[in-house]
Amino acid sequence: MKIAVAGTGYVGLVAGVCFAEKGHNVVCVDIDEAKVRTMKKGISPIYEAGLEDLMKKNFKAKRLDYTVDFKKAYKDADAIFIGVGTPEQPDGSANLSHIATVARQIAESVEKDCLVVVKSTVPVGTNDKVEQFIHDFLINDVKVEVASNPEFLAQGSAVKDTLQAARIIIGTETKWAEDILKKIYKPFNLPVVSVSRRSAEMIKYASNDFLALKISYMNDIANLCELVGADIQDVAKGMSYDERIGSKFLNAGIGYGGSCFPKDTKALEYLAKQHGYKLRTVTAAIDVNKDQKTLLFKKASKRLITFHKLKVAFLGLTFKPGTDDLREAPSLDNVPLLLEQGADIYAYDPVGIDNFKNLYPEGKNGKGTIYYVSKPEDALKGANVCFIITEWDEIKKMKPSDFKKLMRTPLVYDGRNIYSKNEMLKAEVEYHSVGR
């Protein structure tokens, strides 16, 4: 089928590339001409495992292309997928302006019957409004319906999550729309769950918020474990054997980040308030996560008189390994606190440094300074204290003895519970983790 995809971020680009990989003819639309030229060269604008190989393969096979000419891309498409951003607004609601822009472009461009599919995460009821909006601005006498097809990819494994998804959720209001989506996804050979549009929209939020709840619950239990002398890793292991609970998302740490969980929990909380209801569990998850992000800083502040002129090794900047995404990363909460106290931060991350430099240029930042290094060893050399923020393999490969050997004061605050407490003790490292 001929598919157009609006937006070339995580959602749109990965979807478009995977559709092409499954044999569809795909054109990805973006407003940035420089970005389009870069993608045509097979260079991905996002760091995502396996994506560039598939971009090059399918572009060469002429199943995949990129353009800024939305009119040409939309006019004769069988289906148009919307994968643009829905950023969080100050009140927690989703900003739908990009969705509206694309919807109007579609309405003024389509010249044949087509299905518009919203992959972006949107509040329940948005697809109804998008369909009405398109009909309000429709120029040609053609049939256009809107369907919901939320994504469930994780950054760092987005290609795999799309090609080998646990399920495909499609939300439609007619058999015609349902049949088109099933035809598009038939080559994927994956389970398809067909529901109404509003149910599909809610499935996305309910799924993401449940995982956020799980993380915050384990972090809450971890904090209690420290007070009563239990070990959260032992607790999680014991829980994981219960198939009603499962083994995933049980790792305690310094909170969740990224483009989904923080935004989606706040959006669902906002939606509930708009309907006069309070989602107490989701609100609790948000509150726990907010406090958890600066847990290590607070611990270290009690141990140290000040961070002024101390060399601070800061290992990991992105919110998780496998991505260069900084959105809602704990580093964004902790670095400003350290700089405010006049710390000299030596930061390491294998892929996130360039993005972080846009926020905190190397050198003097307020009362403190920040330097970027290419190896974790360079950050640790002569350091007074170390914070481990992201569990990159390059960081996990460090041995307890390395901290003892390289640091001036082997004082480590591990937000991802990477190391064994006993091994750190044997190496004569003062080691603080989460829930142990």
**Going along 55-96, which residue ranges are E strands?**
64-67, 79-82
The whole-number average pLDDT for the span 217-229 is 97
Quote the pLDDT of residue 92. 86
Q: Is 114 a catalytic residue?
A: no
Pairing of strands 114-118, 144-148: parallel
* Check whether domain 203-292 has CATH 1.10.1040.10, yes or no: yes
Tens-place pLDDT, residues 178-214: 999 999 999 999 999 999 999 999 999 999 999 999 9
User: The domain 2-195 is classified under which CATH number: 3.20.20.150, 1.10.150.110, 2.40.30.30, 3.40.50.720?
Assistant: 3.40.50.720
CA–CA gap between residue 264 and residue 282 (Å, rounded): 10
Angle, alpha carbons 97-103-105 (nearest 5°): 105
The angle, 0 to 180 degrees and rounded to 10, between the axes of the packed helices 232-240 and 197-228 is 140
Q: Provide the pLDDT confidence category of residue 87 given band limits of 50, 70 and 90.
A: confident
**Which is the catalytic residue, given 18, 114, 260, 386?**
260
Q: Could you tell me if 124 and 271 are in contact, meaning their C-beta atoms sit under 8 angstroms apart?
A: yes
User: 2-195 and 295-432 share one CATH topology?
Assistant: yes
Q: Is the pLDDT of residue 147 over 90?
A: yes
- Reported pTM: 0.91
Query: How far are the Cα atoms of 34, 67, 242, 262 from residue 26, in angstroms, in the given order?
Result: 19, 11, 43, 31
What is the per-residue burial (b if ≥16 Cβ within 10 Å, else e) of 307-332?
Answer: beebbbbbbbbbbbbbbbbbbbbbbb
Tens-place pLDDT, residues 361-379: 999 999 999 999 999 999 9
CATH number of the 295-432 domain: 3.40.50.720
Q: Could you tell me if 187 and 26 are in contact, meaning their C-beta atoms sit under 8 angstroms apart?
A: no
What DSSP string runs through 407-435? -SS-EEEETT--S-HHHHHHTT-EEE-S-
Q: Could you tell me if 411 and 384 are in contact, meaning their C-beta atoms sit under 8 angstroms apart?
A: yes
Domain coordinates of the chain in residue numbers? 2-195, 203-292, 295-432
The whole-number average pLDDT for the span 307-326 is 96
Q: Could you tell me if 117 and 149 are in contact, meaning their C-beta atoms sit under 8 angstroms apart?
A: yes
